[in-house]
A = this chain, B = another copy of it.
Amino acid sequence: MEIAILLFDRFTALDAIGPYEVLSRIPNASVKFVAKQAGSVRSDQGSLAIIADYSLDEVPSPDILVVPGGPGQSALMEDEPILNWIRRAHETSTWTTSVCTGSLLLGAAGLLKGVKATSHWLADGVLSQLGAEPTAERVVIEGKIITAAGVSAGIDMALKLVALECGETWAQSIQLGIEYDPQPPFDAGSPSKAPTEIVERLRSRSRFFMQ
């Protein structure tokens, strides 16, 4: 099973690596990190570079497509090589997935018209503009399109995908293997739960918008 994870300048690391850590443990998974050009790609914080072993042309039809988000997404909303690659991969994929503002790239590629979808909580307005039906759910499965909420939600998304594709026993085995028994120190991981002043501060300095 070929799994392509898209990389681009200023992607958010955990958006990509959360699903990677889960999906790479699928039996016979062949995960390929893909970018416009093969080579190193810097994440949003600048201090991490991951190597894209493949260029877009080399992985035209993955079984599973994972599109992460991050501040760099906004520069790609009219990037035809990237958007065309997403469109073509989606034609033959078994699953087309996104994490965080990766869903805005699916939307820009025209895949989310009238489709219920999610994104980082700061980006739901943009999802609407792209014709999607935003929801605050953490993982949204609509046909073969699965969108996940911000950053860490890709782990939950990938475990659900494994359950659908390989069965619950495999998903539970992987969950136990990565000891995913989360115990966040605070109950502040969504705008409905975090202190209002923190929500408003993040909203006011939000870097999530469509250019």
| Chain A residues within 8 Å of B, Cβ to Cβ | 12-14, 17-18, 20-21, 24-25, 30-33, 40, 45, 47-51, 53, 100, 120-121, 138-139, 149-153, 155-156, 159-160, 163, 168-169, 171-173, 175-186, 188-191, 193-195, 198-199, 201-202
Query: Contact: A195 with B172, CB < 8 Å?
Result: yes
Interchain CB contact (< 8 A) of A179 among B153, B185, B195: B153
With A178-B14, A178-B152 as known contacts, state yes or no: A186 contacts B198, CB within 8 Å: no
Query: Contact: B159 with A184, CB < 8 Å?
Result: yes
Query: Contact: B190 with A184, CB < 8 Å?
Result: no
CA distance in complex: A189, B174 (Å): 9
Interchain CB contact (< 8 A) of A198 among B100, B120, B172, B189: B172
Residue of B whose beta carbon sits closest to that of A162: B185
Query: Contact: A194 with B172, CB < 8 Å?
Result: yes
Question: Nearest 4 A-B pairs (CB), nearest first?
Answer: A150-B179, A181-B189, A182-B182, A14-B21
Interchain CB contact (< 8 A) of A40 among B20, B45, B51: B51
CA distance in complex: A175, B189 (Å): 5
CA distance in complex: A33, B50 (Å): 11
